[in-house]
């Protein structure tokens, strides 16, 4: 196997098998397997301990990168590739609630799936009934360690934000050597009520001085977060919690890959939303409780300690996220039988073919 740690190139496995039948010449077979690193965001929802759905949960998918520019979720682009999985093996670790509609797959670490009413599980949009073949019980997931960036330049936030603001401020904010604008919030938070935050470049919020039970973001009265152009992105690293009241709009004008949230607390943090609202993001919080309240819509992917999805929640997984990030292990990218002498010659010296 070449490049087995992935640090110096694409991992490739080459193997030879020999069959020696009696009274016949040996039969040799040669195979080349090319691997790829497994992406972090290959599932819609991943939870360490539990996924709990209330009534009328909807899970499905779309693929944002099939158009240029990338497209937002719509019912016309709807697909049935919304996988959800919980590592725990308890009998109710994955409870999808009453009358759920899941277009994708459900996975547990060993326990059964709890459901009631007219539950749907299908790999076809519009399918009916519960397709037990899409329910598996050997799910495993390795949670990678979060590395908080240490940029060459940081812009300091000197107080809690309560007024509308655009990032970056073109007259004072400075980018780091990688071209991104980093902001150290120094323990201050964003506290918005009917205000608007606009992100207009590649920005990173460092909010790692918060206690797990304090909110780095608090919003009420339909606060809005938006992109000012088609290339802006936002990364958030927070050791605290995030709390959104009803009707919040979180970067609804951009695909989920443009907003990455990393929740770094070792325990006690929460991502909580009130009723309604729309969120477009990817959230990685292996020690964080995720609570999406009634009527909320989430577009993207979440990896959390636990997930609670209350009445009427709609969760749309973006399949384009599957190749992003560095997840656990590798997957097969290509399987090829080496049939010609020229194909085998590449490996003849090191493997004595």
Q: Given a cut of 70, is residue 5 above it in pLDDT?
A: no
**In which band, very low, low, confident or very high, does the pLDDT at 120 lie, cut at 50, 70 and 90?**
very high
Which of 46, 288, 284 lies closest to 147, judged by CA? 284
Q: pLDDT digits over 160-182, tens only?
A: 999 999 999 988 999 999 999 99
Task: Please say whether the beta carbons of 229 and 202 come within 8 A.
Answer: no
pLDDT, position 347: 79
User: What φ, ψ does residue 31 adopt, rounded to 5°?
Assistant: -135, 145
Helix or strand holding residue 39 (H, E): none
Give the span between the Cα atoms of 160 and 310, in whole angstroms. Answer: 31
Task: Please say whether the beta carbons of 38 and 144 come within 8 A.
Answer: no
* Element counts in the chain: helices (H) and strands (E): 2, 27
**In which band, very low, low, confident or very high, does the pLDDT at 329 lie, cut at 50, 70 and 90?**
low
Task: Please say whether the beta carbons of 327 and 42 come within 8 A.
Answer: yes
Mean per-residue pLDDT of the chain:
91
pLDDT, position 250: 96
- Average the pLDDT over 312-334 and give the result: 78
DSSP 119: -
Q: pLDDT digits over 29-45, tens only?
A: 888 877 655 679 999 99
Q: pLDDT digits over 225-249, tens only?
A: 999 999 999 999 999 999 998 889 9
Q: Given a cut of 80, is residue 353 above it in pLDDT?
A: no
pLDDT, position 313: 96
Q: Given a cut of 70, is residue 202 above it in pLDDT?
A: yes
pLDDT, position 170: 82
- Average the pLDDT over 75-80 and give the result: 96
What is the per-residue burial (b if ≥16 Cβ within 10 Å, else e) of 338-352?
beeeeebeebeeeee
Q: And the tokens for 186?
A: 């120094």
Q: And the tokens for 179?
A: 């071209």
Give the span between the Cα atoms of 291 and 274, in whole angstroms. Answer: 9
Q: Given a cut of 90, is residue 273 above it in pLDDT?
A: yes
Collapsing DSSP to helix, strand or coil, 325 comes out as: coil
* Structural domain boundaries in the chain: 12-38+331-351, 45-328
Q: Which range is least confidently modeled, 78-92, 212-226, 330-344? A: 330-344
pLDDT, position 342: 80
Which of 40, 82, 49 lies closest to 260, judged by CA? 40
Q: Given a cut of 90, is residue 12 above it in pLDDT?
A: no
Q: And the tokens for 173?
A: 């904010």
Q: How far is CA 266 from CA 244, 305, 321, in A?
A: 21, 11, 25
Q: Which residue has the higher pLDDT, 131 or 35?
A: 131
């Amino acid at each position: 196997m070449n490049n087995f740690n992935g640090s110096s190139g694409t991992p490739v496995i080459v193997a030879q098998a020999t069959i020696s039948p009696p009274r016949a010449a040996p039969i040799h077979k040669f195979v080349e397997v090319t691997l790829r690193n497994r992406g972090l965001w290959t599932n819609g929802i991943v939870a360490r301990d539990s996924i709990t759905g209330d009534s009328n949960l909807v899970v499905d998918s779309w693929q944002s990168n099939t158009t240029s520019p990338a497209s937002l979720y719509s019912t016309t682009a709807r697909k049935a590739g919304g996988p959800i999985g919980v590592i725990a093996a308890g009998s109710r670790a994955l409870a999808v609630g009453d009358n759920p509609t899941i277009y994708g797959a459900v996975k547990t670490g060993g326990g059964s799936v709890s459901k009631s009413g007219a539950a749907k599980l299908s790999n076809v949009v519009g399918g009916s009934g519960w397709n037990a073949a899409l329910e598996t019980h050997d799910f495993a997931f390795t949670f990678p360690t979060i590395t908080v960036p240490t940029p060459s330049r940081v812009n300091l936030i000197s107080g809690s934000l309560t007024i509308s603001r655009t990032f970056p401020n073109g007259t004072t904010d400075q980018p780091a050597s990688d071209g991104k604008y980093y902001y150290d919030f120094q323990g201050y938070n964003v506290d918005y009520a009917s205000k608007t935050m606009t992100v207009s470049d590649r920005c990173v919020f460092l909010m790692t001085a918060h206690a797990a039970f304090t909110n780095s973001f608090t919003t009420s009265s339909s606060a809005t977060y938006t992109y000012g152009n088609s290339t802006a992105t936002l990364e958030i690293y927070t050791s605290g919690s995030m709390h959104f009241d009803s009707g919040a709009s979180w970067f609804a004008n951009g695909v989920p890959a443009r907003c990455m949230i990393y929740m770094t607390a070792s325990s006690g943090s929460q991502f909580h939303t009130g009723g309604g609202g729309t969120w477009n993001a990817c959230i990685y919080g292996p020690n964080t409780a995720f609570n999406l309240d009634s009527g909320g819509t989430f577009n993207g992917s979440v990896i959390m300690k636990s997930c609670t999805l209350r009445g009427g929640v709609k969760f749309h997984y973006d399949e384009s996220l599957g190749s992003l990030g560095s997840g656990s292990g590798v997957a097969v990218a290509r399987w090829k039988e080496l049939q010609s002498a020229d194909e085998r010659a590449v490996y003849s010296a090191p493997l004595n073919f």
